[in-house]
């Protein structure tokens, strides 16, 4: 396997990650979130991360939430880290935050070291934007989570609040892209409550804003 090398230590690029092989990666943490199951009220099930390497490739990593307490201080957003003793699994998740075929599982045996910012040149983020005209072709495939740039034209607040699979979204956004095509985006749970609706509309009057559908 071809590997990059730095400071006499080899590490594997994200595009080369292979299940059931001991590997070391050197990446930047570009996003952190808690995964919840909307139909359950048991709290988060995992703590998840997006990692990017020097080539701009992205992979999702996660730990079970009962191990999150000790991992949180070690993996912070925008930090460059070197990690080893993790598991590489085939990515069978229904919703994927990265198009990698594998996903990383972090455990108590995982070694994580934070590196200085000037130690490696690694991008700070990556977006894979699609146009509204592409979205219908992705409708049957809910695995592909997408990024778009759009203007928010209307915010609707459904009147009924509830829990479970039949609960309506907290807010619905009417979106318009630069070519005039329109679509809607529904936001559930606390994510919708956390948005400042008036501020979102005001900012959108000045032009398109980034909608990261991650």
Taken in order of first residue, the domains within the chain and their CATH numbers are 4-119 (2.40.50.140), 132-212 (no CATH)
- Residue, of 47 and 133, whose pLDDT is higher: 47
Task: Show contacts of 180-186: CB within 8 Å, 24+ apart.
Answer: 181/131, 181/132, 181/133, 182/132, 182/153, 183/132, 183/135, 183/150, 185/211, 185/213
Flag whether pLDDT at 8 surpasses 60.
Answer: no
pLDDT of residue 143: 61
Q: What is the mean pLDDT of the chain?
A: 80
Q: Is 11 exposed, middle or buried (0-12, 13-18, 19+ CB in 10 A)?
A: buried
Q: Is 175 exposed, middle or buried (0-12, 13-18, 19+ CB in 10 A)?
A: buried
* Spacing of C-alpha 90 from chain mean position: 17
What percentage of the chain has pLDDT greater than the value 70?
Answer: 77
pLDDT of residue 7: 46
Average pLDDT over residues 42-54: 91
pLDDT of residue 205: 74
pTM, two decimal places: 0.71
Average pLDDT over residues 174-184: 85
Average pLDDT over residues 128-147: 70
Is residue 159 very low, low, confident or very high in pLDDT (cuts 50, 70, 90)?
Answer: low
pLDDT of residue 192: 67
């Amino acid at each position: 396997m071809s590997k990059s090398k730095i400071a006499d230590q080899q590490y594997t690029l994200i595009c080369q990650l292979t299940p059931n092989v001991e590997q070391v990666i050197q990446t930047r943490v570009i996003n952190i979130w808690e995964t919840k199951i909307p139909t359950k009220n048991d709290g988060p099930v995992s703590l998840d991360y997006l990692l990017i390497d020097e080539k701009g490739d992205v992979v999702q990593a996660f730990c079970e939430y009962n191990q999150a307490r000790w991992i949180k201080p070690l993996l912070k957003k925008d930090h460059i880290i070197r990690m080893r003793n993790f598991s590489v699994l085939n990515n069978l998740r229904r919703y994927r935050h990265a198009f990698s075929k594998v996903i990383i599982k972090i455990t108590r045996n995982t070694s994580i070291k934070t590196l200085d910012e000037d130690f490696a040149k690694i991008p700070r983020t990556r977006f894979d934007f699609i146009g509204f005209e592409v979205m219908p072709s992705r409708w049957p495939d809910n695995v592909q989570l997408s990024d778009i740039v759009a203007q928010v034209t209307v915010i609707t607040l459904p009147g009924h609040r509830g829990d479970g699979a039949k609960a309506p979204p907290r807010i619905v956004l009417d979106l318009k892209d630069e070519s005039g095509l329109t679509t809607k985006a529904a936001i559930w749970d606390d994510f919708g409550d956390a948005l400042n609706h008036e501020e979102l509309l005001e900012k959108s009057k000045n032009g398109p804003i980034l909608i990261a559908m991650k």
